[in-house]
Structure 1
Amino acid sequence: MRRIIVIFFGIIAILSIIRIATGASDLTSVGTAKAALLLSVPIVLAALGGLFAERAGVVNIGLEGMMIMGAWAGGFIGSMHGPWMGLVGAIIFGAVGALVHAVATITFGVDHVVSGVAINIIAAGLVRYISTILAQGGSWPGPSQSPDVEPIGQNGLPILSAGKYFGWQSPDLLGAIGEKNWFLISDISRVLRGLTGELSYVTMIAVALVPLSYFILWKTSFGLRLRSTGESPIAAESLGVNVYAMKYWGVLLSGGFAGLGGGFLAIVAANHYQENQIGGRGYIGLAAMLFGNWRPGGLFAGAALFGFADALQLRDSTAIHALLLLIVAFLLFASWRSFKKAKMIGGLVALAVAAFFAWFFIAFDELPGQLVTMTPYLATLIVLSFASQRLRGPAAAGFPYRRGGLK
């Protein structure tokens, strides 16, 4: 926990320096922090889905399709029965997609990647087909969009972020400090204000699922059994663990998380289901899981990285230009660590890439529009490539299992 706090405040300090040097105030603004959290949540949920599946030994490439099913169910059920029932429906539909993946991979031994890709393709076609029928019947405004869903309430933390509880309006301490424009202190206050003020209750639940997942996987007997099936199913079987049951549990939980992520996009991020709403977030969630080394805290950091970069490109191209300096700072740090560990080639590569981005920042006052759009993906790819050098996934993930030994 101490290390996480130090890293968080260290990043804010670097952003504060870059903000002053470039004048890009959106780097640490309340709006950017709030948008980054909103954009990170569905990726976090998809990554948690991938985590539970792979810890059980099943690679779930089908997260994208399960999120599509969840988003569609959230818009369809939510428009008729309210947003909370829509979220429940999203979880169920995501779990149904996961059940298909589980039957194919666990029971019949189908290749995990082939099954996952098939689910992604089938899910997109299936919801389009059903939506077209609903649109022709007059139930939907069109084949690619559901009716609007009633919004879910928001609140903030009392004292810190102007929360309102039982009719009492709390003061806004973080907002007041943020307006002072003190170096670092106001930057930290603005970021915390964005992360704790006017939050949807679903966002609060989603963030709470990260430490809850850690507790379940590492502090409970269920989590131990689940992880043992992904590390050594033969040894787990010899100790009396029902490997098939644990694999099914892992994949079903994976689909539930992915479905909730899709429902979040349809109900909280927007107020209706829209075709192509997922936008590859299932795949990005898998990348965040890899970045986090198959751990909840790490995957949350990976999702936050993409959410922050995406929030900047939606708000201000000047801030995206300033983000290049943050990439330079990270690459210099990566280069220093590589040289410290006597990894000369990795250090030189990181140093060369840092020099390129520094030159690019100096040479161009404004980024082309196409580059602004792709910067979140580029920044995430660069950080993943240099930060994910010592990954170790579950040893038996992706291998078909048969009672008595791996296939």
Structure 2
Amino acid sequence: MTTATDVNQPTLQPAAPGSRRLSLPVLLLVIAGGLALTSIVRIITGADGITNVSQMSTALQLAVPIGLAGLGGLWAERSGVVNIGLEGMMILGTWFGAWAGYQWGPWTGVLVGIIGGAIGGLLHAIITVTFNVNHIVSGVAINILALGATRYLAPLAFEGVQGGSAKQSPPVESLGHFTVPGLSDWLSTLNSKGWFFLSDIAGLLGGLVTNVSWLTLIAVALIPATWWILWRTPFGLRLRSCGENPIAAESLGVNVYKYKYLAVIISGGLAGLGGVFLSIVANPFYLEGQTSGRGYIGLAAMIFGNWMPGGLAIGAGLFGYTDSLNLRGGAENVHALLLLGAILLVIGAIWSVVKKKYVTSVITLAVGVLVFLWYSLTDEVPNQIVSATPYVITLLVLSLSAQRLRMPKADGMPYRKGQGK
């Protein structure tokens, strides 16, 4: 007798033509190589701030809400539902988290913020799964609705309350931070030595163990948890089958509607948790416009990561790092990273030659030369470019990685129960 667990067939998730999934050792080598190049650039330019502990700690804090939004997008899209509404669900998380947090404590705020985001996810599921409305239209509508709802509710809830206003909530009590004693100081000392590679690794690790919020720890743990649930359990297998071939999944006994609903609600909850992080950890209050497009950047991180948790985490870290340049010596650090960009472009041109893509190689090399000239002929970059760096990096990363991407086959496609009969 055929059961629902039999949907684990190779035909459900074929590799894209010419694609090759990076193994963990290869991925670690790529990360180490990137860190080594960054170390060389740091030594040449003298921009020690690009890998110091405080820079990495800030980058981690900025990466967490992006990563949580990206995880939300991954859950939804693995079930076949495109979730452009992540930004709106994050907005709901910021408002509900701060609203409950200042009244009943920060951990209650975390729970209520997750519920707020999940309500947005439920609404998206009803519109797209039950009523089969276009996923993009529904997501945009939720973003607009969430923004309008919080603008309406904020004056009612916060105006007239001590520390609150029509656009800001009263302060929320801190969730608390932790630092690994001994290890943090040792890594900071090693980072300050300025040694090649070792000091840079110390800066990276030091940022992970210094002044870290408990919510950050939970967010980091959700990355391997998501991988294990979606790729190592029958529940995850059925959910992913809905995003690959819902008709085949239904024929094998999978309740496709149920799994799509669960995935999109979880998606909203994760995005809401990202919003909670912004209104309780990053800033101890709700502020209108607080998300600043992080839901969209989270979606970009998910796409960069090829709909996989590990790749998503790397993408979120990259975007969080570039965003942190705005806060700590941005102009000097961005100018130093121009040299790193030029080196990476030259490496990309060489790789294109190996792949016999000669036109691509010439274009890439020309851009690399221009970036190097920009670095050589200037001492700093304008502040406007520093502010735009995270968004420029988002566009560049997506354009350069587009060739190797493979979304779930049925992602965004309409589905009606029983249509395969």
On whether the aligned pair clears a TM of 0.5, the verdict is yes
Are 1:46 and 2:69 an aligned pair?
yes
Question: Structure 2 regions of 5+ residues with no counterpart?
Answer: 1-23
Match of 2:38 in 1: 15
Residues 1:300 and 2:313 are matched in the alignment: yes
Q: How is 1:190-201 mapped onto 2 (pairs within 5 angstroms)?
A: 190-201=203-214
Pairing 1:124–2:147 present:
yes
For the residue of structure 1 that corresponds to 2:356, the secondary structure is coil
The 1-side partners of 2:200 and 2:361 are apart by 31
What letter is aligned with 1:282?
G
Corresponding residue number in structure 1 for 2:246: 233
How many angstroms does 1:135 deviate by?
3.9
Q: Which of the residues 386, 394, 411 maps onto 1:372?
A: 386
**1:187-229 Cα shifts (integer Å, max 9, x gaps):** 2112211122221111011011111111111001111001000
Q: CA deviation at 1:405?
A: 2.7
Distance 1:119 1:380 in 2: 23
Which one-letter code corresponds to 1:288 in the other structure?
A
User: Conserved in 2, the CA contact under 8 Å of 1:313 and 1:319?
Assistant: no
Distance 1:347 1:333 in 2: 10
Q: Distance in 2 between matches of 1:97 and 1:345?
A: 46
C-alpha separation in 2, matches of 1:178 and 1:221:
44
Residue 395 of structure 2 corresponds to residue 381 of structure 1: yes
Whole-angstrom CA distance in 2 between matches of 1:314 and 1:176: 22
Q: Deviations over 1:135-194 (max 9, x none)?
A: 445476211100101011111335522xxxxxxxxxx33223223332221221122111
Partner of 1:332: 346
Report SS of the residue matched to 1:402.
Answer: coil
Aligned counterpart, 2:16: none
Following the alignment from structure 2 to structure 1, what is the Cα–Cα distance between the partners of residues 106 and 410?
39
In the alignment, is the contact (CA less than 8 A) between 1:98 and 1:254 conserved in 2?
Answer: yes
Distance in 1 of aligned mates of 2:361 and 2:312? 25
Measured in 1, the distance between the counterparts of 2:406 and 2:359 equals 22
Distance 1:225 1:206 in 2: 24
Cα distance in 1 between the residues matched to 2:188 and 2:161: 46
- The 2-side partners of 1:62 and 1:139 are apart by 32
CA distance in 2, matches of 1:380, 1:99: 28
- 1:8 Cα deviation (Å)? 2.4
- The Cα shift of 1:346 comes to 2.3
Query: Which blocks of at least 5 consecutive residues in structure 1 are unaligned?
Result: 162-171
Counterpart Cα distance in 2 of 1:139 and 1:391: 50
1:326-378 CA-partner distances (Å, limit 9, x unpaired): 22222222222222112222222222221221111112211112111112221
Deviation at 1:131, TM superposition (A): 0.7
Instruction: Tell me: CA distance 1:178–1:225, structure 2 relative to 1, closer, same or farther (3 Å).
Output: same
**What's 1:211 paired with?**
224
Give the drift of 1:384: 2.4
**Paired residue for 2:410?**
396
Match of 1:111 among 116, 129, 134: 134
Summarize the alignment of residues 232-311 of structure 1 with structure 2, pairs less than 5 Å apart. Answer: 232-311=245-324
Once the two structures are superposed, residues 113-148 of structure 1 have per-residue CA deviations (whole angstroms, 9 ceiling, x without a partner) of 000000000100100101122244547621110010
Deviates more, 1:42-51 or 1:369-378: 369-378
CA distance in 2, matches of 1:139, 1:401: 50
**Which of 101, 109, 113 is matched with 1:86 structurally?**
109
Which of 13, 37, 58 is 2:81 aligned to? 58
Q: Is 1:341 the counterpart of 2:364 in the alignment?
A: no
For the Cα contact (< 8 Å) 1:95–1:259, is it kept in 2? Answer: yes
Which of 303, 327, 334 is 1:314 aligned to? Answer: 327
Amino acid at match of 1:330: L
Contact 2:97 2:112 survives alignment (8 Å): yes
Question: Residues 139, 93 of structure 1: CA spacing in aligned structure 2 closer, same or farther, 3 A cutoff?
Answer: farther
Q: Deviations over 1:284-308 (max 9, x none)?
A: 0111111000000111111111111
Whether the aligned pair in 2 keeps the contact of 1:42 and 1:281 (CA below 8 Å) is yes
Q: CA deviation at 1:73?
A: 0.8
Distance, in Å, in 2 between the alignment partners of 1:368 and 1:400 is: 46
Relative to the length of structure 1, the TM-score reads 0.94
TM value normalised by structure 2: 0.91
- How many angstroms does 1:320 deviate by? 0.9
Partner of 2:10: none
